[in-house]
Structure 1
């Protein structure tokens, strides 16, 4: 399956999972020295091969469709870590709702309520609100300290990266579920995973949590 075919299938999967209403959200993949990103105004559930913009590694558009205005987010993740080969940005209901609340901590906007969030996603910091399409979105990704592969965008939605398209989609789904559980348990006497439990999970699954190492 080609990179484009994988992106088309991933777009459908995100819509089927309820993570991308209407024409919201965008998806990309790095293919050697180029980046393919879904075009502006496209529905992730109905992507066609001609719906992708072709970018250089620095974000310069080389052809294809008109690039999504959220492209700086994608480029920021690729420039931050060469291990990132796919990025998913969605305005999914649970993550967007949770992005409108105060962050759990400076480490992660989302609390460690389940082992799967820690294992599959790791910490997800809250990045500041920016106008959609602002180049500052990419700068925020690059300047956020520590290691991370997912974040909430204040009053906006979520963005995740993965070593593959499938991994990025899986993390987007897991982050949405973590936000749903956090919303369901808000205001209750809930039980979070302890610092020791989180550290054990993060070490075993090579998942980022600490901000001790500044990028």
Structure 2
């Protein structure tokens, strides 16, 4: 198989795993992946993550021209913003994961860092997660909001919509997304409880040891 074919198969496999475990549903969610030649593979618009045909996954040029496959997700401006502002980005995952969406609805969360510091891995894999306001799905303004962060965040949570995570490759992006949803679930389970979250010194130790961007 060519590099494009192998990458399409990898996207379909990871997407099905995400779907089968209930992290997204119906035709929600999308994945993109940057190849070595600068082109992008993107899940098609209106497709279900659980039933992707690898051969129909959109293949786009570096300038967004459709090279093969179906038309890409309408959320391309969101994906493109991460590739433009974070040079190390090799993949972007966007889901409508229920616990993350629920967390975005609470009025008292910190928009600069929506996830409480409950576990070391939440900090290691995500850094600070920025809350962005609500946008109509497909609105290019979502991409502009990500660009406004100037590459400082690898993960954001769209209010009333869902999380978006960029990673160095597809596996890293998917694993970080899973960590985000798991931490959001923990936050909801512990809501109203005086839980022993990580303290400032413990966070600093993790940030220093694992070279986490905590700005």
State the TM-score, normalized to the length of structure 1.
Answer: 0.91
- Aligned pairs for 1:67-106 within 5 A: 67-102=72-107, 104-106=109-111
- Secondary structure (helix, strand or coil) at the match of 1:46 reads coil
State the 1:77 CA deviation.
0.7
For the aligned residue pairs, the C-alpha RMSD in angstroms reads: 1.7
Structure 2: segments with no counterpart, 5+ residues:
none
Moved over 6 A (4+): none
Q: Is there any run of 5+ residues in structure 1 with no aligned partner, and where?
A: 211-215
Q: Distance in 2 between matches of 1:54 and 1:115?
A: 36
Quick one: distance in 2 between partners of 1:100 and 1:181? Answer: 16
Cα gap change, 1:103 to 1:63, in 2 (>3 Å): farther
TM-aligned CA distance change 1:198 to 1:146, over 3 Å:
farther
TM-score, normalization: structure 2? 0.91
Shifted more, 167-176 versus 15-24: the winner is 15-24
Please report how far the alpha carbon of residue 145 of structure 1 lies from its aligned counterpart in structure 2 after TM superposition.
5.2
* Equivalent residues of 1:103, 1:110 under 8 A apart: no
Match of 1:167 in 2: 172
- How many residues get paired? 210
1:29 partnered with 2:33: yes
Given that 1:96 and 1:158 are in contact with CA atoms closer than 8 Å, whether structure 2 keeps it comes out as yes
Query: How far apart are the structure 2 equivalents of 1:172 and 1:127?
Result: 16
Deviation by residue 1:118-155 (Cα, 9 ceiling, x = unmatched): 01221111011110000011111111256221111011
